[in-house]
Structure 1
């Protein structure tokens, strides 16, 4: 997994690029009618029930745009909210508040939706040992925030990107000439390049699981698109030799049954790629 420093750098890059994209050579709407000396206040209002996320990120945005903006927080990340709740007040330069507004709302609306979806999955897994993981099915350029939102909702992060963990999926295996060849080549590559990365290998059936288990040093087996019965058999085959993860078309209706098969993790792209933004509003007062 990436370090806290790397993660924070990703967040700063997101803010920098988003402000560059949105503001360009100036917020001419505000510059045209609001004096540079004008000050004001705005409040973040919740317009539908859910889990709030992105409060800490909003503070980072305000700090980036104008370090003199002041934020008074009433509700913190990960808290259940209902329509009408006020999450925070922001005060200071009116121009700076308006320059920040769209990025704050875009970020918090998406992050809150992801946190809300994640929390619903976490609740469905209550009482089992299984943890919910995100995937790399994220919005380009916004991954750090989306994975942060998963954590806020009570889930766990999978690998951040292609560089912090090895995952040998079906295409890698097929292009490499088979499971064992792919694993052996990977181990040789890691040794040659002095890399210490965990190895996850995808299995499409029980025979592939048996072949994977013939190799040592596998961190986790990804049990992909197996039914409940075969997933139970897979978990029994693997035992304590490595971690287990189920994936593939798992939804609210099936996630509990897969967890009850005994897997350690369930990964779901739906946490980030199939959500609708939560309705929030930033209003002057």
Structure 2
């Protein structure tokens, strides 16, 4: 990670339309919040259209793929031991998965990790208790690891678009309103993307495909980290709109 060119800002088409709509946000908080969800959909479509036209745009595909593969590897150590606090867990993920690249995509990976840990802690309050009391020494539960995996990819896309929104707000200079446009758009994007992403746990629980009837020594089933690693191309493709699943329009779970 970190080898892609620095982002100079998207322009044209849906990107410009979102910028104009941000500049015209109504001052009433309720109306502004409703408008922001629609703008979030526009931003996500603009990103997907850009990446479909040029997969190398922003360096996001390569960075997301590399980070996902590294996260899958780290899942193995998290499943084997959990002798660290939640803050230490985040620091390790940032260090081992987030890297130190300076592009917007690299920064989105690190912020995506931070939001994923935050959302997993909110969804699984037992995690903090287990880490604090040492009860997680046997490893972090697989369902928590699978949520971390999915939330990371959703958070990465949301945090990338949060930066786009911040740039548009600087350009548009809208009137001050009583809502947080960046946070609302990022949250809406994350919820949408999350609904498109499969879970490694679901794949692990799926019945194995039948092999040759005369096979005397079937291979052992893949581990959860191995399944997660094998799913990275599919998950990145869905998150970045490079596969057709994102056209279903399904909303994800709250994060």
TM-score for the superposition, normalised by structure 1: 0.24
Per chain length, whose mean CA-contact separation is higher, i.e. which structure has more relative contact order (CA < 8 Å, sep 6+)? 2
Structure 1 or 2: more strand by fraction: 1
Higher helix proportion: 2
Normalising by structure 2, report the TM-score: 0.26
